[in-house]
Amino acid sequence: MPVQWAGLSPELLLTLDRESGQRLSAQLEGRLRDAIRSGRLRAGERLPSSRELARMLSLSRGLVQDCYAQLQAEGYLVTRVGSATRVAACAQVDRAPVPSPPDAGPRMIADFRHGVPDLTSFPVSDWLWATREAARRMPTAELDYGDPQGSSALREVVAGYLGRVRGAAADPARTVVCSGYAQGLSLALRALARAGVRVVAYEDPGGPATATAAADAAGLTAVPVPVDEEGLDVAELDATGARAVIVTPAHQWPTGVVLAPSRRHALIEWAARRDAYVVEDDYDAEFRYDREPVGALQGLAADRVISIGTVSKSLAPALRLGWLLCPPALLDSVVEHKRVADRGSPTLDQLALARLIESGRYDRHLRRMRTVYAARRTTLVSALARHAPAVRLSGLAAGFHAVAHLPEGAQEETVVTEARARGVGLYGMSACRTSGAAVPPQLVLGFGHVTDRAITEGVAAVADLLGEP
């Protein structure tokens, strides 16, 4: 789509060689033809007025008018009285042929992709209101580069929010704003590496690709630690010799189990005894349905836990906003790595988020989304009970994904492949295991961005794949 300029003429980069001996009019015509043929000037693109182009190139207006007239006669340009000169729709463009898109396969009935919230429910009007309010109130000084640690306004609001709803020992002075979980994890691991940590552990099953990539980038060795029905096995962690571990204690990814109280205390004791640190991923703690709230692990040991939170699940991943609650010993290192990485996250977005939270609109959105996700969870349970009763579900107490336990002997990869051929996106647990093992056969079913109707139709379409092998 060509750029639609409002008001002033668009700028156009053209160079003329006054020492070449070639007439300037011929050079100008040639440069414009080349720009149109190459696609640099696209069909419908508006050109500068003859007066403006003459001024840009220090030419006479008459010369530019003659050039435009010649290119119009050749079919490259179109001019209408009272309207701008534009590139003709039928102008020849020498472009490489665009390859045909790959076959998209059957129409997608339902895509149970995990980790994605309901993007259609993003509170657009509230976000626009918060952005306008933030821009209206923002002092001119805030338009400067600012503090790489983040806006003091957002850090104050986030610390208050996390203390109120997550039981965190949040201090604005030790809060660092980041661009989502990936950057938060990178900052944490780099700071740990500088502090002398050499081995970091992560949950298995979990996110092996994310953990190992971040560890490699920080110069650390990543090792898996098994998860059972009570969460991370702290005894196994102790045996690895690691001095840091990445955990999801409130709602383990992807099994959905909660770290048992005894394990929570054992983990804190391990960190103190080993002079180690816990990196807490508090990724979807806002969404719980039929269990008591579980506070942030950071609230038990603020000097040993780095807690990472974002709005990727509560609002949308595209906002790229998150935060770290840092132990005092690591704060300066985290801030320095953030400064080197990008000098700080966008200030206006930070101020908009602060305004959204302090206005109460953020809490209102979360309450509405809990209702939406709870309804979809019920729909998923009902659809599987009706169409595939042999499938057992777990991990449903919070978040917007569940684990489907397939009957013994089912081939996870076969189920996923054949479901895709029927227009249903299913995702195996094997991708979450360090070994890649597909036994026991399980699926991770995300229902955040799937409508109730799609859930029902999707399960019905693959019911025979999910049943007895």
- Check whether 287 has a pLDDT greater than 50: yes
**How much of the chain exceeds pLDDT 90, in percent?**
79
398 in the same domain as 275: no
Q: Into how many domains does the chain fold? A: 3
What's the whole-number mean pLDDT along residues 156-179?
A: 96
136 in the same domain as 49: no
In a domain, 105, yes or no: no
428 in the same domain as 353: no
Which one, of 245, 259, 179, 239, lies nearest residue 215 by Cα? 245
CATH number at residue 69: 1.10.10.10
With cut-offs at 50, 70 and 90, classify the pLDDT of residue 6. Answer: very low
- Check whether 149 has a pLDDT greater than 80: yes
What's the whole-number mean pLDDT along residues 287-306?
A: 88
Q: Which pLDDT value is given to residue 288?
A: 81
What's the whole-number mean pLDDT along residues 41-67?
A: 90
- Check whether 92 has a pLDDT greater than 60: no
What's the whole-number mean pLDDT along residues 250-268?
A: 95
382 in the same domain as 345: no
69 in the same domain as 12: yes
318 in the same domain as 444: no
Among residues 359, 376, 408, the one where a domain terminates is: 359
Q: Which pLDDT value is given to residue 100?
A: 64
- To the nearest whole number, what is the mean pLDDT of the chain? 92
Q: Which pLDDT value is given to residue 3?
A: 43
325 in the same domain as 286: yes
Q: Which pLDDT value is given to residue 38?
A: 86
Which tens digits make up the pLDDT trace of 168-224?
999 999 999 999 999 999 999 999 999 999 999 999 999 999 999 999 999 999 999
Which tens digits make up the pLDDT trace of 376-406?
999 999 999 999 999 999 999 888 999 999 9
What's the whole-number mean pLDDT along residues 54-61?
A: 91
| Stretch among 69-83, 240-254, 370-384 having the lowest mean pLDDT | 69-83
In a domain, 324, yes or no: yes
What's the whole-number mean pLDDT along residues 136-142?
A: 93
With cut-offs at 50, 70 and 90, classify the pLDDT of residue 2. Answer: very low
With cut-offs at 50, 70 and 90, classify the pLDDT of residue 286. Answer: confident
**Domain interval for residue 9:** 1-99
Structure tokens at 464: 């025979």
- Check whether 110 has a pLDDT greater than 90: yes
130 in the same domain as 14: no
- Check whether 432 has a pLDDT greater than 90: yes
With cut-offs at 50, 70 and 90, classify the pLDDT of residue 271. Answer: very high
308 in the same domain as 448: no
- Check whether 19 has a pLDDT greater than 90: no
With cut-offs at 50, 70 and 90, classify the pLDDT of residue 293. Answer: confident
Q: Which pLDDT value is given to residue 435?
A: 96
176 in the same domain as 287: yes
With cut-offs at 50, 70 and 90, classify the pLDDT of residue 1. Answer: very low
330 in the same domain as 371: no
With cut-offs at 50, 70 and 90, classify the pLDDT of residue 268. Answer: very high
What's the whole-number mean pLDDT along residues 66-82?
A: 87
CATH number at residue 399: 3.90.1150.10
In a domain, 104, yes or no: no
What's the whole-number mean pLDDT along residues 140-150?
A: 94
Among residues 327, 359, 391, the one where a domain terminates is: 359
Among residues 359, 393, 418, the one where a domain terminates is: 359
With cut-offs at 50, 70 and 90, classify the pLDDT of residue 98. Answer: low
Which one, of 306, 294, 225, 237, lies nearest residue 260 by Cα? 294
**How much of the chain exceeds pLDDT 70, in percent?**
94
Q: Which pLDDT value is given to residue 461?
A: 97
331 in the same domain as 458: no
